[in-house]
Amino acid sequence: MDVFEAIATTRAMRRLDPDRSVAEEDIWRVVEAATKAPSGGNAQPVRWTVVTDAERRRQLGEIYAECWKPVHDRYASAAGGDERMSRVLRSADHLGDHMGDAPVIVLPCSKGGDPASVFPACQNLFLAARAIGLGTTLTTVHRLNEQGVRDVLGIPDDVTVWAMIPMGYPLGNWGEAQRRPVEDVTYWDAYGEARRRP
């Protein structure tokens, strides 16, 4: 798959097929791609906690669902009557109810470390997953109960759990997400200085 096609069509896939398992070799392949991302000082602080055990996934799903409730309320209030935002919220609600059903949950963790070494690796993981037909999405609402996540997975208190990433075969379709035109979000040489693209 062309890298620009992968970038354009890698979008949040929150509805994953709970009955279709992901091959262990595909998990290794995607996580290995994540490890190839830039890392400040080549420190490579990220440790990838991959959860396929059904009981642990169920427990993580319960934690995620509890954490999602107050976040849902904030988004619902902000959405008002906007149908596009309401559609996104319905998708996020589905994940809130079904995180534990994802065949795989990946958690990037690090002791200390700079998020600049974490999130490029997550993007590599998303692109690699997309290239082999797996859906993912970046979530951080678990951080409202990060200790609960640590307890389920035996993660030490001095390790940050940066994200919870469900992974599996998507039930939705690949395609480009709607984005603002690049000319509307790009400034040249000074903040607010727009330029028309030739």
Domain holding 100: CATH number?
3.40.109.10
Buried b (16+ CB within 10 A) or exposed e, 61-91: bebbbebbeeebeeeeeeeeeeeeeeebbeb
Say how many domains are in the chain: 1
**Tens-digit pLDDT profile for the chain (198 aa)?**
888 988 888 888 999 999 999 999 999 999 999 999 988 888 899 999 999 999 999 999 999 999 999 988 887 777 777 777 777 778 888 899 999 999 999 999 999 878 988 999 999 999 999 999 999 999 999 999 999 999 999 999 999 999 999 999 999 888 888 888 899 999 999 999 999 988
Distance CA 30, CA 106 (A): 11
Closest CA to 101 of 196, 171, 178: 171
- 194 domain-assigned: no
Q: By the 8 A CB rule, do 139 and 91 touch? A: no
- 190 domain-assigned: no
Residue span of the structural domain in which 140 resides = 3-172
- 182 domain-assigned: no
Main-chain dihedrals φ then ψ at residue 197, nearest 5 degrees? -80, 130
